[in-house]
């Protein structure tokens, strides 16, 4: 980066003093465009990294929630709750969790 700044500075000085022709001016413009494009790419890369981080966080939360649901299912199973529905696994799990909750309430009364 330092060499880019130095060479850009030298080119500008040569252009400003009139010791070069339009090619140097064109080169300076090209360097400016490349610098702008580099900054845009750095910003895009940062955005992609932030999205990856957010996706990792969401995946971690989903994994924890899945483990919690499995834990509830196992606890309900250990407590002797039987599935009384013929629906999907999620319906059976919701039914078991509701039964466990009712059993706890009865135990607290």
- Report the length, in residues, of the chain: 109
- pLDDT (0 to 100) of residue 64: 92
DSSP 8-state code for residue 79: T
> Helix, strand or coil for residue 80?
coil
Residue 81 pLDDT > 80? no
pTM of the model: 0.43
DSSP string, 9-43: HHHHHHHHTT-S-HHHHHHHHHHHHHHHHHHHHHH
Tell me the CB-side half-sphere exposure of residue 71, using CA atoms within 13 A: 6
List, for residues 28-79, the tens digit of each pLDDT value: 778 888 888 888 888 888 999 999 999 999 999 999 999 998 888 888 888 8
């Amino acid at each position: 980066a330092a060499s880019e700044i130095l060479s850009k500075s030298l080119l500008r000085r040569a252009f400003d003093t009139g010791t070069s022709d339009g090619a140097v001016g064109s080169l300076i413009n090209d360097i400016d465009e490349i610098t702008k494009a580099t900054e845009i790419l750095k910003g895009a890369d940062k955005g992609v990294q932030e999205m990856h981080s957010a996706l990792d966080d969401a995946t971690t939360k989903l994994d924890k929630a899945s483990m919690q649901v499995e834990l509830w299912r196992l606890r309900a199973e250990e407590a002797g709750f039987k599935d009384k529905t013929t629906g999907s696994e999620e319906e059976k799990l919701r039914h078991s969790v509701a039964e466990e909750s009712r059993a706890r309430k009865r135990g607290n009364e």
